[in-house]
Amino acid sequence: MLNTFGTLYRLTSFGESHGSGIGGVIDGCPPGLCLDEAFIQAELDKRKPGSAKAGLAGTTRSEADRIKFLSGVYEGKTTGTPLAFFIENTNQKSQDYSKVAQSYRPGHADRCYDEKFGFRDPRGGGRSSGRETVARVAGGAVAQLYLRQLGIKIFAYPEAIDGIYAEQYGDFDLEHLDGRLFFAPNEGVIPHWQERIEEVRKDLDTLGGVVKIEAHGVPAGLGEPVFQKLDAYLSFALMGVGAVKAVEIGDGLRAAQSRGSVNNDAMQYENGRLTYLSNHAGGIEGGISNGQPIIARAYVKPIPSVAKEQKTVSKNGENIMLSVGGRHDICAIPRIVPVLKAMTAMTLMDMVLLQRRCGFTGRENG
């Protein structure tokens, strides 16, 4: 709880936007995993401010975001003891934060932190900054290394930006997400997203979107029946990423207008193998994975830092107008994509380890 995510695969995150850096401790990673640092760094680079993937959506702040492992690795393999890592903040502009400290940015956590903790670190949003998510990407990358060995692969990509859905512009090709701007699922949608973002930027405003997550190769049997259902835990993981305001599993909200006979995923045996005829459930029934791809979506609000002037208040009781300039993103997408992928990876990793307590591993090993 608090700043730790997970039960058996646990990430404890620390650090602030404009402090010395962001880091984390991964506890519970099984021993003997080859820690492919190039893969981990590549995941971090996807989230990196100023990443080319962001097209025109991103911040101009640039960070090296080089990860350094501080413990838990010996001769390139995890030892089963805590994997700590640190990512230095290299681009902290020395800056006067007294104005930020004295006013509450609309849509931000500024006032809530003051209410919760009595005061706050105003430098770049402190702990509430999106920069904290770099620790999650690292934790998720390590999980992905492990899950890949079990044949589990996670995909994440924008399904829509500002209501422009990619599916209108071509089929999806998940194998080349990393090569495309925005991690887009097809090439066709990219110019439309670019155009819209450019319009909104000129309007001094920001915009949101929808990220779809798919996990392929997940064995049946993951998830705990009652409270810690796989869908509940995944929802917890995804909604815990700032700017996410809704999460759906499988058909999600469309299920609320469907019929039972349609929404149920019928089963049949084909060549001696149990298959499903549809995947409305998004791979989870009764809170437990059924062996089909896990499908989830995260609905992402517009970045609250808008350059337009907004009504707000100062800490000491004045009504003021505030324009939040600086090096901010226009859209949380695509930078939120690797973060959501990471949270999904950590969720599945934890569930894999938890399921092992039962003493049989089901499809995991076969």
Residue numbers 167-196 binding a copy of itself by CB under 8 A: none
Contact 314, 103 (CB under 8 A): yes
**Cα–Cα dist 314/253, whole Å:** 39
Judged by CB under 8 A, does residue 38 bind a copy of itself?
Answer: no
CB-nearer residue toward a copy of itself: 27 or 43: 27
Which one of 4-12, 34-42, 44-52, 190-198 is the stretch in contact with a copy of itself (CB under 8 A)?
A: 4-12
**Contact partners, residue 142, CB within 8 Å, separation at least 6:** 26, 29, 33, 35, 40, 78, 83
Residue type, 3: N
Determine which residue in the list 51, 144, 312, 347 makes contact with a copy of itself, applying CB under 8 A.
312
Beta bridge partners of 279: none
Which one of 37-45, 52-60, 173-181, 238-246 is the stretch in contact with a copy of itself (CB under 8 A)?
A: 238-246
CB-nearer residue toward a copy of itself: 174 or 313: 313
The count of C-alpha atoms lying within 13 angstroms of the C-alpha of 266, restricted to the half-sphere facing its C-beta, is 5
Angstrom distances, CA of residue 191 to CA of 22, 171, 194, 206, 208? 34, 16, 5, 18, 17
**Contact partners, residue 71, CB within 8 Å, separation at least 6:** 81, 82, 83, 84
Residues 113 to 132: which contact a copy of itself by CB under 8 A?
Answer: 113, 115-121, 123, 126-128, 132
Determine which residue in the list 236, 279, 326, 327 makes contact with a copy of itself, applying CB under 8 A.
236
Angstrom distances, CA of residue 75 to CA of 28, 32, 45, 149, 340? 19, 10, 24, 19, 30
Residues 49 to 68: which contact a copy of itself by CB under 8 A?
Answer: none
> How many Cβ atoms sit within 10 Å of the Cβ of residue 69?
17
Token pair listed for 15? 């650090």
Least separation in angstroms between residue 202's CB and a copy of itself is 13
DSSP conformational letter for 122: -
Which one of 34-42, 56-64, 187-195, 317-325 is the stretch in contact with a copy of itself (CB under 8 A)?
A: 317-325
Least separation in angstroms between residue 47's CB and a copy of itself is 16
Judged by CB under 8 A, does residue 94 bind a copy of itself?
Answer: no
Determine which residue in the list 173, 255, 293, 326 makes contact with a copy of itself, applying CB under 8 A.
255
CB-based burial of residue 271 (10 Å sphere; 0-12 exposed, 13-18 middle, 19+ buried)?
exposed
Which one of 43-51, 58-66, 184-192, 213-221 is the stretch in contact with a copy of itself (CB under 8 A)?
A: 213-221
CB-nearer residue toward a copy of itself: 44 or 343: 343
CB-nearer residue toward a copy of itself: 173 or 327: 327
Judged by CB under 8 A, does residue 210 bind a copy of itself?
Answer: yes
Which one of 54-62, 166-174, 189-197, 250-258 is the stretch in contact with a copy of itself (CB under 8 A)?
A: 250-258
CB-nearer residue toward a copy of itself: 160 or 173: 160
Determine which residue in the list 42, 52, 64, 112 makes contact with a copy of itself, applying CB under 8 A.
112
**Cα–Cα dist 6/346, whole Å:** 7
Judged by CB under 8 A, does residue 90 bind a copy of itself?
Answer: no
Judged by CB under 8 A, does residue 260 bind a copy of itself?
Answer: yes
The count of C-alpha atoms lying within 13 angstroms of the C-alpha of 297, restricted to the half-sphere facing its C-beta, is 15
Q: Of 127, 29, 16, 19, which Cα lies nearest the Cα of 71?
A: 29
Judged by CB under 8 A, does residue 74 bind a copy of itself?
Answer: yes
Judged by CB under 8 A, does residue 155 bind a copy of itself?
Answer: no
